[in-house]
Structure 1
């Protein structure tokens, strides 16, 4: 049986993020795992900066917080999908 080579990391991240259902979130670490590169959470973050057409706002930090650089926009998009996001000063956290 022929072995299928792994997808390039950027394509694997694209597929993993596009598979996150509306109204749900995954951590950068979970996306890395689903993309076949456990431990590459930072790499997922780098890829999300360059990928277009993916619901990047559904990817959050493992502690539930949103990255400060995009937090207001990310919170707005998540709330529009029904995700509960709590704001405390300048910090945003997804409520589970």
Structure 2
């Protein structure tokens, strides 16, 4: 049986994010785990800034809040998929 090498991190993140079903979310830490790099949540965030054609809005912080820099757009996209997002001032949180 041939030995296969692991995917580059960016491709592993791409696949993990694309696998998130419409109307669901995953944390950056969960995506890192699914990409084979547990503990690389910040790396997932960096990759999402460069990857094109992935549903980046389905990736949220572990505390279920949205990153301020993209919160308005992310909340809009999540709501369009049926995800409940609560806004308190400038802070957004995905409702379980």
Q: TM-score, length-normalised on structure 1?
A: 0.99
1:46-69 CA deviation, whole Å, 9 max, x = no partner?
Answer: 000000000000000000000000
In the alignment, the residues of structure 1 paired with residue 11 and residue 33 of structure 2 have an alpha-carbon distance, to the nearest angstrom, of 14
- Count of residue pairs the alignment pairs up: 96
Q: Give runs of ≥4 in structure 1 deviating > 4 Å.
A: none
What are the ranges of 5 or more consecutive residues in structure 2 without an aligned counterpart? none
Q: Which residue of 1 aligns with 2:57?
A: 57
Instruction: For residue 49 of structure 1, give the secondary structure of its aligned residue in structure 2.
Output: helix
After superposition, the CA RMSD in angstroms is: 0.4
In the alignment, the residues of structure 2 paired with residue 88 and residue 3 of structure 1 have an alpha-carbon distance, to the nearest angstrom, of 51
Q: Which residue of 2 aligns with 1:31?
A: 31
In the alignment, the residues of structure 2 paired with residue 33 and residue 27 of structure 1 have an alpha-carbon distance, to the nearest angstrom, of 10
What are the ranges of 5 or more consecutive residues in structure 1 without an aligned counterpart? none
Shift of 1:15: 0.2
In the alignment, the residues of structure 1 paired with residue 48 and residue 67 of structure 2 have an alpha-carbon distance, to the nearest angstrom, of 12
Q: TM-score, length-normalised on structure 2?
A: 0.99
